[in-house]
């Protein structure tokens, strides 16, 4: 019995280690092209399993050839992603990525956004910034110019400079990426909206009515900053309130709770 108990404990430890490794690898590939690769691999493996189960020799042979050639193709096509993963492994970031590092990246991103908004407000440069949350905004992203750029205050400011190609539309951001600029948003048809609000404000309210996105508007007439959410708009919002709202609603829920085994049921203790 002692030997059997020892084997069971060893098996449990083995399973836990492998599960944690897979979990960390998923975090590495999340948000990269490798996600689509994993979906393709799953389709191939399911097809192969079906061919084996029903004894479909021709299909099974084809799947075996695809798997054999696919390993080499994956290494060649996704060489940059594999190199990045190995570099993170060498630096210990795959297994030792801490909450403070995630917070630092998030804080820096919010700082860049606030810096850009304050500059635009001081110069009375009209702007419309959209932050995607749970509701996908792909249709609106495709209406603009794809950028896939890192969020920096300099880039955000330059995109709204008057008489430039992107200054009239909205900028849509997702996590730490500027997805697109010059995007067209649906205008709100709410008859109770103040007549003082222009097209940017109506577009921000309109999008917030059909999604859970957060929209920030800088008025080119007054320089006031407005926040639109859930079909409502807060005009002339203070910098402190804006920062608090962005920190509350944009912080990645999967990364600010500490280790994954402490996230269930809310915020980790301590």
**Residue 160 confidence class, pLDDT cut points 50, 70, 90:** very high
Per-residue pLDDT of 179-235, as tens digits, reads: 999 999 989 888 888 888 889 999 999 999 988 899 999 999 899 999 999 889 999
Per-residue pLDDT of 225-266, as tens digits, reads: 999 998 899 999 999 999 999 988 887 654 444 443 344 444
Burial class of residue 59, CB neighbours in 10 A (0-12, 13-18, 19+): middle
Separation of alpha carbons 254 and 264, rounded Å: 11
Amino acid 88: pLDDT? 58
Residue 163 has pLDDT above 90, yes or no: no
C-alpha 34: how far from its chain's center?
A: 15
Q: Delineate the domains of the chain, giving CATH numbers in brackets.
A: 2-96 (no CATH), 99-250 (3.40.1700.10)
Q: How far apart are the first and last CA of the chain?
A: 39
Q: Count CB neighbours of 163 within 10 A.
A: 6
Residue 86 has pLDDT above 50, yes or no: yes
- Ranges of H-type helices in 97-187: 99-122, 138-141, 153-159
**Between 59 and 75, where is the model more confident?**
59
Amino acid 126: pLDDT? 93
The sign one gets for the Cα dihedral 25, 30, 71, 81 is negative
Q: Tell me the pTM.
A: 0.58
Separation of alpha carbons 152 and 194, rounded Å: 33
Whether residue 61 contacts residue 69, with contact meaning beta carbons closer than 8 Å, is answered with no
Whether residue 168 contacts residue 159, with contact meaning beta carbons closer than 8 Å, is answered with no
């Amino acid at each position: 019995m002692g030997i059997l108990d020892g084997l069971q404990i060893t098996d449990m430890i083995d399973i836990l280690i492998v599960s944690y490794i897979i979990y960390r690898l998923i975090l590495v590939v999340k948000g990269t092209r490798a996600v689509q690769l994993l979906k393709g691999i799953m389709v191939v493996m399911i097809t192969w399993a079906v061919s084996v189960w029903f004894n479909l020799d021709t299909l099974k042979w084809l799947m075996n050839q695809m798997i054999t050639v696919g390993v080499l193709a994956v290494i060649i096509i996704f060489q940059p992603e594999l190199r990045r993963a190995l570099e993170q492994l060498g630096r210990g970031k795959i297994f030792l990525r801490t909450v403070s590092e995630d917070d630092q990246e998030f804080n820096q991103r919010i700082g860049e956004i606030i810096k850009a908004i304050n500059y635009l407000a001081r110069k009375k440069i009209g702007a419309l910034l959209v932050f995607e949350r749970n509701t996908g905004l792909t249709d609106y992203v495709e209406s603009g110019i794809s950028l896939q750029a890192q969020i920096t205050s300099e880039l955000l400011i330059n995109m709204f400079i008057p008489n430039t190609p992107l200054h009239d539309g909205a900028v849509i951001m997702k996590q730490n990426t500027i997805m697109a600029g010059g995007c067209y948003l649906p205008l709100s048809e709410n008859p109770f909206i103040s007549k003082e609000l222009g097209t940017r404000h109506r577009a921000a309210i309109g999008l917030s009515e059909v999604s859970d996105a957060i929209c920030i508007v800088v008025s080119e007439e007054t320089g006031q900053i407005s926040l639109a959410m859930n079909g409502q708009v807060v005009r002339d919002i203070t910098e402190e309130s804006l920062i608090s709202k962005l920190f509350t609603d944009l912080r990645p829920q999967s990364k600010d709770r500490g280790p994954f085994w402490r996230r269930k049921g809310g915020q980790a203790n301590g």
